[in-house]
Amino acid sequence: MPRPYASGIVPGDVEQVWRRVRDFNSLSSWHPAITHSEIEPGPGAGEVGAIRRLTLADGGVVREQLLTLDDVDHSYTYRMLDGPFPIRSYVSTIRLAPVTATGDTFVEWWADYDADAADEEKLTTTFADGVYATGITGLTNG
């Protein structure tokens, strides 16, 4: 099972960055590839079970469900329910940690997913670079 991964340093202390990231409905406010986000009826954006509907810059739609939310570990895990990617399963985690030497925040983001072998290389690059690295850069610039 492939594991796309990206990490980076975001200016600001971990609590400050976590406030931006924690809201499961906030992705469109800091990720440049997401033009709109809304929480479907049911659990709210800060509750396990929440489902967000994301509109991508190219018009595609992705639906994701929050599986875990950990304020101590500054992380959450979610799964993709629907989307334009040829995958059979996808579970992703974003986690923040303090950089004690500088007061900044280390952000890492990864997923485990299942897809046909012929699609894995392209999907891994798409997720690692186009989703995670782009999002971390969005946090850095925002």
What distance in Å separates the CA atoms of residue 108 and residue 83, rounded to the nearest whole number?
Answer: 22
Residue 44 belongs to what domain range?
5-141
- pLDDT tens digit sequence for 56-80: 999 999 999 999 999 999 999 999 9
How many degrees, rounded to 5, is the angle at CA 73 between CA 22 and CA 51?
35
The domain total for the chain is 1
**pLDDT at position 1:** 80
Residue 14 belongs to a domain with what CATH number?
Answer: 3.30.530.20
- Split at pLDDT 50, 70, 90, the class of 32 is very high
Cα dihedral 22→24→25→30 (10° resolution): 50
Indicate whether 142 pLDDT > 80. no
How far is residue 25 from each of residues 9, 44, 67, 100, 133, measured CA to CA in Å? 22, 9, 14, 28, 19
Q: What is the mean pLDDT of residues 39-66?
A: 96
pLDDT > 90: what percent of the chain? 98
Asked if residue 79 lies in contact with residue 71, where contact means CB atoms within 8 angstroms, the answer is: no
Q: What is the mean pLDDT of the chain?
A: 96
Yes or no: say if 51 and 41 are a contact pair by the CB < 8 Å rule: no
**pLDDT reported for residue 141:** 84
Q: Is residue 18 a contact partner of residue 96, using CB atoms and an 8 Å limit?
A: yes
**Contact at 8 Å (CB) between 25 and 52?**
yes
CA–CA gap between residue 43 and residue 85 (Å, rounded): 25
* Cβ atoms of 1 and 112 closer than 8 Å: yes
pLDDT of the residue at 83? 95
- Between CA 118 and CA 131 the distance in angstroms is 20
